[in-house]
Amino acid sequence: MILSFMLESLVRWRAEGKVAVWLRVPISLSRCAAAASTHGFTFHHAKHDRAVLVLWLGEGESQLPGFATHQVGVAGAVVDESNGKVLVVQDRNKTTNAWKFPGGLSDPGENIGATAVREVFEETGVRSEFRSLLSVRQQHNHPGAFGMSDMYMICRLRPLTYDINFCTRECLRCEWLDLAELTRTSDTTPITARIARLLLHGLERGFGEIDLSMEEIPAIYSGRFYQLYHRQLPSLVTHI
């Protein structure tokens, strides 16, 4: 019955000029996936309690986009501008106890600045606010992302509190460390050392030279907005 219904539907869709079919199959009806595969459907992705299958009906190779292939990790570099120190942690579950900025994976629909603030608080107990984006690292075939690609963002944060109450389940140590010391020590990761040098430059010359500020802009989709991270242009002063 399922096969005949699907065959009739495909004939009609092709006659109507449809170029693709998306089939959402609840896990309770997963047997339908086997029936769909006999008509050329393939898996596109699965999430929670359903799988999504797809069939390209158009000419040539499929033009349909693939499912998400990246995970987004975000770290927060919380800089105390009054003394040149930055908040760093050592992960409990890593083979090398290197100093790094606290952070973790961004939740779906969560802005990277919000992720940085949340992860810093969860790991260290320090509250902070987002100031800018500092860097983006791209890595492919990431073992922690099931072989997919990984985007890792580091944000600059301003502390709102200073007392440390770190999560002992995730962190082995947590300290306010002098930025100059962080640039020199071998007990850190290459990316952390580079960002420490960048932050030190910002402290000395002004963060305007290193910041990628966030600006919220209306999207072409009605009622939606997106976040644009870019270097701010200096203000233009008009002399009359």
Q: In this structure, what are the phi and psi dihedrals at residue 202, rounded to the nearest 5 degrees?
A: -65, -40
pLDDT surpasses 70 at 237: no
- 137 near 151, Cβ under 8 Å? yes
2-56 and 70-205 have identical folds: no
Sign, CA dihedral 30-35-37-41, equals negative
Cβ atoms of 224 and 216 within 8 Å: the answer is no
Q: What is the pLDDT of residue 116?
A: 98
pLDDT of residue 3: 65
- Token pair 């961004």 in the structure block, residue: 106
CA R_g for the chain: 24
Give the torsion sign (CA, 96, 97, 101, 102).
Answer: positive
Q: Is 122 designated active site? A: yes
Per the CB < 8 A criterion, the answer to whether 162 and 126 are in contact is yes
pLDDT over 50 at 204, yes or no: yes
- Percent of the chain exceeding pLDDT 70 equals 95
CATH 3.30.465.10 fits 2-56, yes or no: no
State how far the Cα of 18 lies from the Cα of 104, in Å rounded to an integer. 42
The two structure tokens encoding residue 177: 């460390």
The three-state secondary structure class of 43 is: strand
- How many residues make up the chain in this entry? 240
Per-residue pLDDT, averaged over 138-150, amounts to 83
* pLDDT at 145 (0 to 100): 76
Percent residues over pLDDT 90 in the chain:
60
The domain limits of the chain are: 2-56, 70-205
Residue in the structure block whose two tokens are 């963002």: 153
pLDDT value of position 95: 64
Q: How far apart are the first and last CA of the chain?
A: 81
Query: Could you report the per-residue pLDDT of 64-105, keeping only the tens digit for each?
Result: 888 877 889 999 999 999 999 999 999 987 767 799 999 999
- In the structure encoding, which two tokens stand for residue 90, read together? 């050592």
Q: Tell me, what's the pLDDT at 240?
A: 42
Catalytic residue, chosen from 16, 59, 61, 122, is: 122
CATH of domain 70-205: 3.90.79.10
Q: Please give the pLDDT value at position 239.
A: 46
Average pLDDT over residues 201-218: 93
Integer Cα distance of 103 and 190 in angstroms = 16
- Whole-number pLDDT of residue 213: 92
CB 123 within 8 A of CB 90: no
Give rounded-to-5 percent helix, strand, coil for the chain: 25, 35, 35
118 within 8 A of 106, measured Cβ to Cβ:
no
Residue 203 near residue 179 (C-beta atoms within 8 A): yes
98: tokens are 């290197």
**Mean pLDDT estimate for the chain:** 90
Summary count for the chain: helices (H), strands (E): 5, 11
Give the span between the Cα atoms of 8 and 82, in whole angstroms: 72
Q: With 60 as the cut, is the pLDDT of residue 236 above it?
A: no
Question: For 65, phi and psi rounded to 5 degrees?
Answer: -70, 150
Does position 152 have pLDDT exceeding 50, yes or no? yes
Q: pLDDT tens, 153-182?
A: 999 999 999 999 999 988 999 999 999 999
